[in-house]
Structure 1
Amino acid sequence: MDSPIVAAVVLAAGGGRRYGMPKALVEHEGSLLVERAVRTARAVCDPVLVVLGAQAVDVWQRADLSGAALLANKDWESGMASSLATGLKGALSWPGRVDAVLVTLVDMPGMTPEALAAVRAHGAPHALAVATYDGVRSHPVLLGRDHWAGVMETLTGDEGARRYLAAHDVTEVDCTGLADPADLDVPPPGVPSAP
């Protein structure tokens, strides 16, 4: 049997209200956060779908997103739920079957191919898996194709698949030490929030 096709979905549409600018355009250690997220995802998944929203044209013009398919979330201001729905619809309409999606966030610069690969290894149409760090659930999150319709029914506001995952059996994958799950919510001290 062929191995399952797992697509990465990079959620990069937010306006970064607390940060002061869209996090996709934040420079971190020499590259934009969205470029780092795409590079990390491409090391493990094919295809890679990037959901853009806030300043999408600027991101498209400035960032090197080669090897990724770009999806526009016109409803990005409503929160993460609409971005996840955009990513799932993109995977549904992808030419060729996608068996599962691996969801990762643009504002986690400490994400690594090793952590993505550990969760991706559980990829299957029936699968649900989530990375944990010291016992705390975080990203990436793996959603098998059989669950996409159910996830989309529960999506609301700024909440992703959390409610759906809470109601189902989920494989927890210990990624402690494989990646840094911290997200960049606000600029580090001394870093201006907008270019």
Structure 2
Amino acid sequence: MPPIEPSAHLSCAGIVLAAGAGTRYGKPKALAEDGAWLRAAVTALRDGGCAPVIVMLGATGPDPAAVDLPAGTEWRWVADWATGLSATVRAGLRAATEAGTEYVAFLPVDIPDIGADVVARVLAAARAGDSGLARAVFHNTPGHPAVMKNSHWEAISVAAVGDTGAGSYLGTRQDMVCVTCDDLATGTDRDFPEVGAQ
């Protein structure tokens, strides 16, 4: 699938959530499969219409050389990553604010079967909807990516506490567009090495 060029006034920052320690996996998932998951997430966001794509790092340390970042990928180190997912979400929203984009798309690093087609579908739905909120749904279960217009970012930052991310805000919104993506991916996150090996 060729990359989808974002228009300037509808730009979307792609944020890869990759700061966690991956306790159940046994190492930070940013390093999983020799970095294959990280590269897959970056490619999905970039080719799905996001620019810039920014990887949020944490447990791997402040040196980006610790991970295999694809060329042209931006990164931020989340110094307080250990306090929970909310810290990474807030840092991602700050990065998107700095980038000046109208939308942000969050994609965790541990859902390697999400491709550009899923990202493009959810992003298109967010742009078309009145609320500017959309997220992928797999077998009637909310998943990722989640796309949010900048008018929601402050409220998301306030609602995200501890180990809860944007979902704590999105779950209260009746105007969020749920985008069925069962035909494109499983949307299953990988918590254990044996699952990823199957």
Q: Provide the C-alpha distance between the structure 1 equivalents of 2:170 and 2:196, rounded to a whole number of angstroms.
A: 38
Deviation sequence 1:24-64 (CA, Å, 0-9, x none): 00116xx5321221122111211101100011356534403
Deviation sequence 1:109-165 (CA, Å, 0-9, x none): 111111110001134494111110121111010111000000001111111112211
Question: Which runs of 5 or more structure 2 residues have no equivalent in the other structure?
Answer: 1-6
Aligned to 1:163: 168
Aligned to 1:37: 41
Task: Find 1:26's aligned residue among 24, 32, 36.
Answer: 32
Equivalent residues of 1:6, 1:123 under 8 A apart = no
Task: Find 1:181's aligned residue among 172, 187, 195.
Answer: 187
Q: Provide the C-alpha distance between the structure 2 equivalents of 1:189 and 1:143, rounded to a whole number of angstroms.
A: 30
The answer to which structure has the higher helix fraction is 2
Q: Provide the C-alpha distance between the structure 2 equivalents of 1:147 and 1:90, rounded to a whole number of angstroms.
A: 15
| Aligned ranges 1:6-25 → 2 under 5 Å | 6-25=12-31
Structure 1 ranges of 4+ moved more than 2 A: 56-62, 122-126
Amino acid at match of 2:158: E
TM score, norm. by length of structure 2: 0.87
Amino acid at match of 2:103: A
TM score, norm. by length of structure 1: 0.88
Q: Provide the C-alpha distance between the structure 2 equivalents of 1:70 and 1:26, rounded to a whole number of angstroms.
A: 18
Amino acid at match of 1:60: A
| Aligned ranges 1:84-95 → 2 under 5 Å | 84-94=89-99
Aligned to 2:4: none
Distance 1:129 1:189, change over 3 A: closer
Amino acid at match of 2:60: Q
Equivalent residues of 1:126, 1:145 under 8 A apart = no
Q: Provide the C-alpha distance between the structure 2 equivalents of 1:57 and 1:153, rounded to a whole number of angstroms.
A: 25
| Aligned ranges 1:59-74 → 2 under 5 Å | 60-74=65-79
Equivalent residues of 2:60, 2:67 under 8 A apart = no
Amino acid at match of 1:40: A
Does residue 77 of the first structure (1) align with residue 82 of the second (2)?
A: yes
Aligned residue for 1:25, secondary structure, equals helix
Cα offset for 1:67? 2.0
Distance 1:21 1:164, change over 3 A: same
Aligned residue for 1:81, secondary structure, equals helix
Q: Provide the C-alpha distance between the structure 2 equivalents of 1:53 and 1:60, rounded to a whole number of angstroms.
A: 13
36-45 or 12-21, larger mean C-alpha shift: 36-45
Equivalent residues of 1:11, 1:103 under 8 A apart = yes
Percent of pairs with identical residues:
33
Aligned residue for 2:59, secondary structure, equals coil
Aligned to 2:121: 118
